[in-house]
Protein backbone atom coordinates (compact mmCIF):
# COMPACT_ATOMS: atom_id res chain seq x y z
CA UNK A 1 0.00 0.00 0.00
CA UNK A 2 1.36 3.39 -1.00
CA UNK A 3 1.30 5.44 2.20
CA UNK A 4 1.34 8.79 0.34
CA UNK A 5 -1.61 7.75 -1.79
CA UNK A 6 -3.69 6.96 1.31
CA UNK A 7 -2.86 10.40 2.77
CA UNK A 8 -3.76 12.09 -0.51
CA UNK A 9 -7.09 10.26 -0.85
CA UNK A 10 -8.07 11.03 2.76
CA UNK A 11 -7.35 14.73 2.39
CA UNK A 12 -9.23 14.84 -0.95
CA UNK A 13 -12.27 13.40 0.85
CA UNK A 14 -11.91 16.05 3.58
CA UNK A 15 -11.74 18.83 0.99
CA UNK A 16 -14.78 17.49 -0.86
CA UNK A 17 -16.75 17.27 2.37
CA UNK A 18 -15.80 20.88 3.21
CA UNK A 19 -17.04 22.18 -0.13
CA UNK A 20 -20.28 20.19 0.10
CA UNK A 21 -21.00 21.21 3.70
CA UNK A 22 -20.28 24.88 3.01
CA UNK A 23 -22.60 24.81 0.02
CA UNK A 24 -25.58 23.64 2.07
CA UNK A 25 -28.03 26.40 2.85
CA UNK A 26 -28.80 27.07 6.52
CA UNK A 27 -25.93 24.81 7.55
CA UNK A 28 -23.37 26.07 10.00
CA UNK A 29 -19.90 24.82 9.13
CA UNK A 30 -17.10 24.58 11.67
CA UNK A 31 -13.45 23.81 10.94
CA UNK A 32 -11.05 22.80 13.68
CA UNK A 33 -8.54 20.45 15.17
CA UNK A 34 -8.96 17.09 16.90
CA UNK A 35 -6.94 16.16 20.00
CA UNK A 36 -6.93 12.73 21.55
CA UNK A 37 -4.56 10.15 23.04
CA UNK A 38 -5.40 8.19 19.88
CA UNK A 39 -4.02 10.95 17.66
CA UNK A 40 -4.59 14.44 16.37
CA UNK A 41 -5.84 15.95 13.15
CA UNK A 42 -8.42 18.08 11.41
CA UNK A 43 -12.18 18.12 11.70
CA UNK A 44 -14.99 19.61 9.63
CA UNK A 45 -18.54 19.69 10.96
CA UNK A 46 -21.82 20.75 9.45
CA UNK A 47 -24.59 21.65 11.87
CA UNK A 48 -28.06 21.68 10.34
CA UNK A 49 -31.74 21.44 11.24
CA UNK A 50 -34.03 19.60 8.81
CA UNK A 51 -36.64 17.27 10.28
CA UNK A 52 -34.33 16.96 13.24
CA UNK A 53 -31.23 18.74 14.45
CA UNK A 54 -28.06 16.94 13.43
CA UNK A 55 -24.29 17.40 13.21
CA UNK A 56 -22.44 15.78 10.33
CA UNK A 57 -18.77 15.40 11.08
CA UNK A 58 -15.70 14.36 9.12
CA UNK A 59 -12.30 14.09 10.73
CA UNK A 60 -8.87 13.01 9.58
CA UNK A 61 -6.41 12.08 12.28
CA UNK A 62 -2.78 11.07 12.46
CA UNK A 63 -2.96 7.79 14.37
CA UNK A 64 -0.47 7.86 17.26
CA UNK A 65 -0.69 4.21 18.31
CA UNK A 66 2.48 3.47 20.39
CA UNK A 67 4.03 6.81 19.37
CA UNK A 68 3.20 8.82 22.52
CA UNK A 69 4.81 6.07 24.59
CA UNK A 70 7.79 6.20 22.19
CA UNK A 71 7.63 2.51 21.34
CA UNK A 72 7.44 3.41 17.65
CA UNK A 73 8.26 6.46 15.55
CA UNK A 74 6.00 6.20 12.50
CA UNK A 75 2.32 7.16 12.47
CA UNK A 76 -0.80 6.04 10.64
CA UNK A 77 -3.81 7.89 9.25
CA UNK A 78 -7.54 7.45 9.87
CA UNK A 79 -10.65 9.12 8.54
CA UNK A 80 -14.03 9.08 10.32
CA UNK A 81 -17.45 10.21 9.14
CA UNK A 82 -20.32 10.43 11.64
CA UNK A 83 -23.93 11.55 11.43
CA UNK A 84 -24.82 12.70 14.93
CA UNK A 85 -28.33 13.41 16.15
CA UNK A 86 -28.72 16.11 18.80
CA UNK A 87 -30.49 14.53 21.77
CA UNK A 88 -30.56 17.46 24.17
CA UNK A 89 -29.73 21.16 24.00
CA UNK A 90 -29.35 23.95 26.52
CA UNK A 91 -27.54 27.08 27.63
CA UNK A 92 -24.86 27.26 30.31
CA UNK A 93 -23.25 30.41 31.77
CA UNK A 94 -26.03 32.43 30.00
CA UNK A 95 -24.17 32.66 26.68
CA UNK A 96 -22.75 29.19 25.99
CA UNK A 97 -24.98 26.88 23.91
CA UNK A 98 -24.46 23.19 24.58
CA UNK A 99 -25.69 20.10 22.76
CA UNK A 100 -25.53 16.43 23.65
CA UNK A 101 -25.35 14.21 20.58
CA UNK A 102 -24.88 10.63 19.47
CA UNK A 103 -24.83 8.85 16.16
CA UNK A 104 -23.41 6.23 13.83
CA UNK A 105 -20.71 6.55 11.20
CA UNK A 106 -17.99 5.01 9.10
CA UNK A 107 -14.27 4.82 9.70
CA UNK A 108 -11.29 3.72 7.66
CA UNK A 109 -7.60 4.23 7.25
CA UNK A 110 -4.12 2.82 7.24
CA UNK A 111 -2.67 2.41 10.73
CA UNK A 112 -1.37 -0.06 13.29
CA UNK A 113 -3.26 -2.12 15.80
CA UNK A 114 -1.82 -2.81 19.26
CA UNK A 115 1.24 -5.05 18.88
CA UNK A 116 0.74 -5.44 15.13
CA UNK A 117 2.19 -3.92 11.99
CA UNK A 118 0.43 -1.58 9.57
CA UNK A 119 -2.85 -2.64 8.03
CA UNK A 120 -6.00 -1.39 6.37
CA UNK A 121 -8.87 -0.50 8.71
CA UNK A 122 -12.51 -0.36 7.63
CA UNK A 123 -15.71 -0.54 9.61
CA UNK A 124 -18.48 1.26 11.44
CA UNK A 125 -18.24 3.63 14.35
CA UNK A 126 -20.51 4.90 17.11
CA UNK A 127 -20.05 8.35 18.53
CA UNK A 128 -21.47 10.23 21.51
CA UNK A 129 -20.44 13.49 23.09
CA UNK A 130 -21.18 17.06 24.08
CA UNK A 131 -20.59 20.29 22.18
CA UNK A 132 -20.24 23.83 23.53
CA UNK A 133 -20.62 26.87 21.30
CA UNK A 134 -19.22 30.13 22.65
CA UNK A 135 -20.22 33.69 21.65
CA UNK A 136 -16.93 34.32 19.84
CA UNK A 137 -17.66 31.45 17.39
CA UNK A 138 -15.32 29.02 19.11
CA UNK A 139 -16.83 25.54 19.40
CA UNK A 140 -15.42 22.92 21.77
CA UNK A 141 -16.70 19.37 21.74
CA UNK A 142 -15.71 16.22 23.54
CA UNK A 143 -16.81 12.83 22.29
CA UNK A 144 -16.07 9.14 22.55
CA UNK A 145 -15.85 6.82 19.55
CA UNK A 146 -16.35 3.07 19.47
CA UNK A 147 -14.92 1.53 16.27
CA UNK A 148 -16.02 -1.92 15.14
CA UNK A 149 -13.64 -2.57 12.27
CA UNK A 150 -11.80 -5.25 10.39
CA UNK A 151 -8.03 -5.03 10.15
CA UNK A 152 -6.34 -6.34 7.01
CA UNK A 153 -2.58 -6.92 6.97
CA UNK A 154 -0.56 -8.19 4.04
CA UNK A 155 1.47 -11.29 4.79
CA UNK A 156 5.17 -10.85 4.02
CA UNK A 157 5.46 -14.58 3.18
CA UNK A 158 2.87 -15.09 0.45
CA UNK A 159 1.39 -11.63 -0.11
CA UNK A 160 -2.09 -12.71 1.01
CA UNK A 161 -4.21 -10.33 3.10
CA UNK A 162 -5.01 -11.60 6.59
CA UNK A 163 -8.21 -10.33 8.15
CA UNK A 164 -8.46 -9.70 11.89
CA UNK A 165 -10.54 -7.66 14.33
CA UNK A 166 -9.29 -4.13 15.03
CA UNK A 167 -8.73 -4.43 18.81
CA UNK A 168 -7.78 -0.78 19.40
CA UNK A 169 -11.23 0.28 18.20
CA UNK A 170 -12.73 -1.32 21.33
CA UNK A 171 -9.91 -0.95 23.86
CA UNK A 172 -9.39 2.75 23.07
CA UNK A 173 -13.07 3.72 23.05
CA UNK A 174 -12.72 5.32 26.50
CA UNK A 175 -10.11 7.78 25.22
CA UNK A 176 -11.80 11.18 24.91
CA UNK A 177 -11.55 13.11 21.69
CA UNK A 178 -11.60 16.90 22.02
CA UNK A 179 -12.34 19.11 19.03
CA UNK A 180 -11.55 22.82 19.05
CA UNK A 181 -13.25 24.47 16.08
CA UNK A 182 -14.19 27.81 14.64
CA UNK A 183 -17.68 28.41 13.20
CA UNK A 184 -17.46 29.97 9.75
CA UNK A 185 -20.97 31.43 10.01
Partner 1 sequence: MKNITYKILIFSLLSFMSFTVYGQDKARMEPVFGVEWGGATTILERYHRNFMAEAGYRVDEKGSVMSLKTTGSLTAKAGIRFNDHYTATVNTGIMGVRQQRSAVPITARFSYSFKNYEQNGLMCFLEAGAIYPNRYYANFITESGLGYRIGLSHRFSLDFMLTFRVCADERKITDPDTGADVDIWNIKKNNSTFFATGYKIAINF
- The distance of closest approach from Cβ of residue 68 to partner 1 in the complex, given in angstroms and rounded to an integer, is 4
Stretch that binds partner 1, among 7-15, 46-54, 136-144, 160-168 (CB under 8 A): 136-144
68/119 Cα distance (integer angstroms): 19
Q: In the set 18, 20, 31, 35, which binds partner 1 (CB under 8 A)?
A: 35
- The distance of closest approach from Cβ of residue 168 to partner 1 in the complex, given in angstroms and rounded to an integer, is 16
3-state helix, strand, coil in the chain (%, to 5): 15, 60, 25
**Residue window 86-125: x/- pattern of binding to partner 1, with contact defined by CB under 8 A:** -------x-xx-----------------------------
The answer to whether residue 178 forms part of the interface with partner 1 (CB under 8 A) is yes
Is 7 strand, coil or helix? helix
Of 11 and 132, which has the nearer Cβ to partner 1?
132
# residues near partner 1 by CB under 8 A: 19
User: Which own/partner contact pairs does 71-77 have at CB distance under 8 Å and 24+ positions apart?
Assistant: 72/112, 75/39, 75/111, 76/39, 76/109, 76/110, 76/111, 76/112, 76/118, 77/6, 77/7, 77/10, 77/109, 77/110, 77/111
**Residue window 62-81: x/- pattern of binding to partner 1, with contact defined by CB under 8 A:** --x--xxxxx----------
- Among 132, 135, 123, 143, smallest CA distance to 47 is for 132
Interface residues with partner 1 (CB under 8 A)? Answer: 35, 37, 64, 67-71, 93, 95-96, 132, 134-136, 138, 140, 178, 180
Amino acid sequence: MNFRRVHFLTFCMAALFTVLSMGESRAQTTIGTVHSPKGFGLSIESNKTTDYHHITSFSVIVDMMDVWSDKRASVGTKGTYTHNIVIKRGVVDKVVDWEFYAGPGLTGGYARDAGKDYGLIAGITGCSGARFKFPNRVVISMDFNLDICCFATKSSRNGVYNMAFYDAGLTHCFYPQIKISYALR
